[in-house]
A and B are shown apart, each in its own frame.
Chain A
């Protein structure tokens, strides 16, 4: 019953009487207790296993990830006992297990404070490959969908996440730079016009074929990119990862999705918590958030070029950008604008202003964010990047 906030659309006497949505920060009494959060997939196949450990924080906290550092993690099962090492604070990993994908595995977590947790034994699931990733322009933007199938019919529950990469240009081409108060023309290596940017998925994408006669996922919508998005201004790439889930894991992810991605209609299901498959070994009543699945991972990458998209789609630069004239000496006021705006590194010079003949009168200037793409991306070309 999603999307029922129809209310926004009620008009009276022709005058829009729109509903309104305001941010809401209620006073919530936090219990103060923090709960352990375990996220990750044990990959019995040929990929590394990554597990993230963190704990809950208060709603008002600004901390994004409260990493749980210094824990000891072990993948167990089928006679194995493989320790994980902490790569970054709260991120633990082990090399590919290459284990028997028909057996059961579990994760043991021992925190630095001595508390111990264990995930339920989960049967390894073999994820079928992604068949296709398709995209089509719709009125809402570029819709990217995936299809997959499992002839054995064993998968049934699917989850996806993805990494997006794209090339983008700054709003204005800057031909000059300022080094130690002196303006130099940029060399090709110095250009700050074209960059790459990337983003990891923030939503849970789930799909299921349980109601279908065959284990087929057909054009499952993964995401929709706004037609004005900078992501599709030049060239875009998506790496889609597919995971097979157990029914219980599917329920867990579905609940997470319901609780944080719903639209707020009173026809939405009420929020509630679903326990994952990680439990404290000493206190079974202690809630632990997280579901540790055991499955292989399938991935697929595609590229989408601007030329494949409708020509009428115009990219909206995410900042309000303008160029202003900046004179060595303003013809009217006589103000030394280049010195005041450019040499002080307040703004970025883009092009020169030439007068009659070749006399240099000044520069066009713009904000750094409008002329320097490295402020929002990197010029390092991703290793997988392929130009058209």
Chain B
């Protein structure tokens, strides 16, 4: 519209130019006494050929008292407006009256290639350059590379100073926001990345710029802009169809070197999908495990360990909802549907101040937004699972949904087994439903929900089931070009139950659940070109039912036993600033003040001070009424990181973090069992505290196609909860007597080389890392290993990973994955004896020995159907072999007595090469 106006005015100017010269000389006489503008205009128009254009409302304060004889109209107007804020402009016979600004009726000097006369100041006062206010303007949709887009309020000359460009990047095909796309202005050596919702803001000098835009899985593109003043732009990007299987880890080729953060890895679903997995279905957690610094205790275990932290010290978020159990089917599958997920970010070291509540890492998984333009979907068929998703617009270009479902049909597999396992059952399903709605260009609403359920029964009469349930609503609001806000309200639940049926007398049901209600508000404020400020307030209300046990049959004698519910409120206020000191030095500094209130109703046990907590040192208990604050913990958490560029492609970074964790997972097994219990901090159980210092060197080679990094870290953990020998963790009314505050230390060095582009791509990582725990609580009767340091279950000093992909053609690629690690620590028997009719073993110090080293290689072929755009469905196959060499890796070792004699066994799963096939269809 603006362009149309300008064009129209231009034509008028040229057509009437000649006339104006003729009438400019005629004179009139006027006499005004406190005249309104209407009177003045009517009088002049009656005495001359001039026509006036003005906004009467703007002139209601003007009263003209003037007597003039034989003056030209311009001279009269000069007198009338002298000393006021009103101005006029002449264009032939037309007079434009304005308030505050002068309308420029001539083209800018140099418009037709004529140089401006030197020494003549141009536009010394404010000039009006547009006829429409910015609010009515349509934000340009910049779709082509070769066009010059004008941003902001156009002026004849480029003014000095800076302006803020904010924008939104979306996929041209689906209308979905492009997360983590980088906008880089080479000439300015500056850049920015889009946030989770596709928005970005950058401050630039006014003038012409070339924006280079790179997005994960998107075709690189450029936009030319002229930035006149603060303004907005929408950029549409095309999907990179030709490189479906390209590994992309980081959105930004220079991010590795240029970002302030350390130990942050971003993976997009395409790179996740090409890593071979045991059943052929893409698995986010398996790929995360190939990153340096990430370990797991075993092949089919739930959870992962980051830089020496335990599995419960990772905050796993799916669209900002906390997932307490990220695994399905004994850990063979992860809880995230690969067809819905867009990408994942793992924070190992620099944890943004907006996150908190766990002391090791944050794994942030984000779903895609549904296609806003057309309906689409996909389906995948695997050996024991299938999945389906559909997405599409509800209101075109405004509202979209995406729905995903997965399920198993594995019981047939278990039925094929020999007698001992015949009666086993295992199944799971999960559903995702996300809706996003764009109210206007300042407001977006996102609703995300997730539900999963696992059920299994292993050859016994006991059945287990667990479930995650999450829902949240987010409102993203752009207050202005510089201030963004995100508000979230949501609810997360994790529950499990164990039930026994066969013997009616003993039939029981055991239930556990944890519920949290979340509220979050996060703000980002682009203060100026060198400061980006983030601040916000988060709070979580926990309601945890630690266990309720009761009869499951009318005949059952099971005595109901309920451990009372626990309540707590965890709140945090944070403020952070990313400050670019100069081109080479950037600092990110944040403080998060977290506060935890353990709330009533509750009965809290009191123990004799200075003695080991046990049933004998229990003095009494205090009852607190509902809502009463029983205990408050809290303190500041520091998030600090800095980057210094040593050259264009080389930088060093350092960071220091402290974190607090108020919720604990109690487990006495090597891996997390689906039935372990979570426990809130209370007067007898202190929150966990961790801090980490890390340092890294980053270098990009071969024009940023190869990224290398080395990071070292040292980490301390305080008040991590370990368990006593023979501890009972389920249905324990005084859990504090069975757990021990443990101290931990972890250190290591991580190397990574990755190549993100080209037909050969992938990464190689190596980490040397150690983790030790120590029970130095003086109130512990018999500390493990006599109170000295012992290696944690997941202490694997050496680990090496290779993930590679070679694309032969656009439709055919090969992937290879190689993993090596030192065996995990185990406790081995040092002696044996005869007791109760059999040989028995006497165990050594905890974790004094190791299982044999782990080595595995997997291979897969990805075959795509043809890439013709217009066809009903697009097909692809993944065929591969898991554990190519068939190495019998030890899953566990154990000593058991058979017919009274002790024998040691090494158990391997996936002890042979396992072929798999997966068929995917997209429509």
Complex interface: chain B residues within 8 A of A251 (CB): 726
**Cα A284 to Cα B899 with chains together (Å):** 34
Which stretch (A75-83, A269-277, A316-324) binds chain B?
Answer: A269-277
* Complex interface residues of chain A between 330 and 387 (CB less than 8 A to chain B): none
User: Is A123 part of the binding interface, using a Cβ–Cβ cutoff of 8 Å?
Assistant: no
Contact A3 B726 (CB under 8 A): no
Interface residues of B in 246-303 (CB under 8 A from A): 279, 297-298, 300-301
Q: Which residues, 811 to 849 on B, are CB-close (under 8 Å) to A?
A: 827-844, 846, 849
Is B789 in the interface zone, CB < 8 Å from A?
no
> Do A12 and B835 contact each other (CB < 8 Å), given the known contacts A24-B904, A28-B829?
no
| A window 52-68: CB within 8 A of B | 52, 54-59, 61, 64-66
User: Is the CB of B119 closer than 8 A to any CB of chain A?
Assistant: no
- Interface locus among B188-196, B399-407, B415-423, B628-636: B415-423
**A5-B907, A218-B503, A274-B725 known; A10 vs B557 contact (CB < 8 Å):** no
Residue interface mask A11-24, B partner, CB < 8 A = 1 = 11101111111111
Structural contact, B910 and A10, CB atoms closer than 8 A: yes
A140 contacts B419, C-beta separation under 8 Å:
yes
Count B interface residues, CB 8 Å.
Answer: 89
Chain A residue contacts of B838, Cβ below 8 A: 202-203, 260
Residue of B nearest to A3 (CB): B458
In the complex where A7-B891, A212-B558, A266-B301 touch, is A202 in contact with B837 (Cβ < 8 A)?
A: yes
Taken together as a complex, chains A and B put the C-alpha atoms of A290 and B557 apart, in Å, by 33
Find out whether the CB atom of A65 lies under 8 angstroms from the CB atom of B832: no
13 A-B residue contacts at CB 8 Å? A4-B673, A7-B909, A23-B906, A28-B830, A58-B832, A211-B558, A211-B561, A259-B840, A259-B843, A266-B301, A267-B673, A270-B670, A272-B725
Pick the residue among A18, A139, A253 that contacts B911 (CB under 8 A). A18
> Does chain B have a CB within 8 A of A116?
no
Known: A9-B413, A218-B503, A272-B726. 15 other contacts (CB 8 A): A3-B458, A3-B460, A6-B426, A7-B891, A12-B882, A12-B916, A13-B383, A13-B917, A39-B835, A54-B834, A59-B829, A260-B841, A270-B793, A271-B841, A274-B726
Q: Which of B671, B830, B833, B902 has the most CB of A within 10 A?
A: B833
Residues of A within 8 A of B670 (CB): 266-268, 270
Which of A30-38, A94-102, A179-187, A232-240 participates in binding chain B? Answer: A30-38
Give 6 nearest A-B pairs by CB, closest first: A7-B909, A264-B894, A218-B505, A272-B725, A24-B906, A56-B831
Q: Does B668 contact A (CB under 8 A)?
A: yes
Q: Is the CB of A219 within 8 A of B505?
A: yes
Whole-angstrom CA separation of A251 from B614 in the bound complex: 15
A201 at the interface (CB under 8 A from B): yes
Q: Mark B547-560, 1 if CB is under 8 A from A, else 0.
A: 00100000001110
Least CB distance, B881 to chain A, in whole angstroms: 9
A interface residue numbers (CB < 8 A to B): 1-13, 15-26, 28-31, 34-35, 37, 39, 52, 54-59, 61, 64-66, 139-140, 161, 200-204, 211-214, 216, 218-219, 251, 253-256, 259-275, 289-290
The contact of A268 among B424, B833, B894, by CB within 8 Å, is B894
In the complex, are the beta carbons of A255 and B725 less than 8 A apart? yes
Least CB distance, A314 to chain B, in whole angstroms: 16
Task: Tell me how far the C-beta of B850 lies from the nearest C-beta in chain A, rounded to whole angstroms.
Answer: 9
Asked if B835 contacts A37 (CB within 8 A), the reply is: yes
Does B900 reach chain A (CB closer than 8 Å)? yes
Report the Cα distance A4→B671, complex, angstroms.
12
A35 touches B842 (CB 8 A): yes
Q: Which residues of B contact A61 (CB under 8 A)?
A: 832
Closest CB-CB distance, A285 to chain B, in whole Å?
9
Q: Which of A9, A10, A216, A264 contacts B905 (CB 8 A)?
A: A264
Contact in complex: B506, A212 (CB < 8 Å): yes
- Distance between Cα atoms of A8 and B891 in the complex (Å): 11
Shortest CB-to-CB span from B788 to chain A, Å, is 15
The residues of B that contact A275 with a CB separation of less than 8 Å are 782
Contact among B671, B909, B915 for A10, CB-based, below 8 A: B909
What chain B residues lie within 8 Å of A54 (beta carbons)? 833-834
Those of B862-915 within 8 Å (CB) of chain A? 882, 888, 890-897, 899-900, 902-912, 914-915
Measured CB to CB, the nearest residue on chain A to B901 is A64
| B836:A39 contact, CB within 8 angstroms | yes
Among B561, B784, B833, B907, the residue within 8 A (CB) of A37 is: B833
Q: With A and B bound together, what is the CA distance between A42 and B781 in angstroms? A: 28
Closest to A30 in B: B830
Q: Mark B458-480, 1 if CB is under 8 A from A, else 0.
A: 11100000000000000000000
Interface residues in B555-587 by Cβ distance below 8 A to A read: 557-559, 561
Interface residue? B669 (CB, 8 A): yes
Return the contact of A266 from the options B297, B426, B456, B846 (Cβ within 8 A): B297
Nearest CB on A from B159, distance (A): 67
Distance, CA A64 to CA B298, complexed state (A): 34
Interchain CB contact (< 8 A) of A22 among B330, B559, B782, B906:
B906
- Nearest residue (CB) in B for A162 is B837
| A197 to B506 CA separation, bound complex (whole angstroms) | 35
- Give every chain A residue within 8 A of B905 (Cβ-Cβ): 21-24, 264
Residue of A nearest to B836 (CB): A204
Q: Which of B505-558 contact A (CB under 8 A)?
A: 505-506, 508, 549, 557-558
**Within the assembled complex, what's the spacing in Å between the Cα atoms of A275 and B298?**
30
The reply to whether A59 and B830 contact each other, CB–CB distance below 8 Å, is yes
B416: which A residues are within 8 A, CB to CB?
Answer: 11, 16
Asked if A9 meets B414 with Cβ closer than 8 Å, knowing A37-B835, A268-B894, the reply is yes
Query: Is B419 within 8 A of A139, CB to CB?
Result: yes
With a cutoff of 8 Å between Cβ atoms, the chain B residues found around residue A271 in the complex are 827, 829, 841, 843
Contacts of B557 in A (CB 8 A): 212-214, 216, 218
Is B408 engaged at the interface, CB distance under 8 Å to the other chain?
Answer: no
Instruction: Name the one of A10, A55, A265, A270 contacting B846, with C-beta atoms under 8 angstroms.
Output: A270
Contact A13 B835 (CB under 8 A): no
Residue of B nearest to A37 (CB): B833
Q: Which residues of B contact A28 (CB under 8 A)?
A: 828-830, 844, 849
Residues from chain B with Cβ under 8 Å of A5 in the complex:
907
B757 within 8 A of A: no
Query: Which of B828, B892, B911 has a CB less than 8 Å from the CB of A20?
Result: B911
Contact of A12 among B383, B827, B896 (CB under 8 A): B383
Residues of chain A lying within 8 A (CB to CB) of residue B899: 202
Q: Is the CB of A20 within 8 A of B908?
A: yes
Contact B671 A273 (CB under 8 A): no
Which residue of chain B lies nearest to A33 when distances are taken between CB atoms in the complex?
B831
Is residue B224 contacting chain A, with contact meaning CB distance below 8 A? no
CA distance A259 to B414 in the complex (A): 28
In the bound complex, CA of A25 to CA of B893 (Å): 10
- Bound complex: CA of A275 vs CA of B831, how far in Å? 15
- A82: shortest Cβ distance to chain B, in Å? 24
Q: Which of B41-61 contact A (CB under 8 A)?
A: none
Give complex CA distance A207, B776 in Å. 35
- Chain B, residues 417-447, CB within 8 Å of chain A (1/0): the string is 1011110101000000000000000000000
Q: Which residue of B lies closest to A290 (CB)?
A: B835
Q: Nearest-CB distance from A96 to chain B (Å)?
A: 23
B725 touches A21 (CB 8 A): no
Task: State in angstroms the CA–CA spacing of A56 and B893 once bound together.
Answer: 22
| Interface contact B896-A260, CB-CB below 8 Å | yes
**By the criterion CB–CB under 8 Å, are B725 and A273 in contact?**
yes
User: When A61-B832, A273-B842 are in contact, do A202 and B419 touch as well, CB less than 8 Å?
Assistant: no
How far apart sit A271 and B825, CA to CA, in the bound complex (Å)? 12
Residue of chain A at shortest CB distance from B417: A9
Chain A residues with Cβ under 8 A from B459's Cβ? 3
B155 within 8 A of A: no
Asked whether B458 lies within 8 Å of A4 as measured between CB atoms, the reply is: yes
Which of chain A's residues has its CB closest to B793's CB?
A270
| Chain A residues positioned under 8 Å from B912 (CB to CB) | 17-18
* B443-501 interface (Cβ within 8 A of A): 456, 458-460
The answer on a CB contact under 8 Å between B413 and A23 is no
Given the interface contacts A19-B907, A201-B837, A211-B559, does A56 sit within 8 Å of B842 by beta carbon?
A: yes
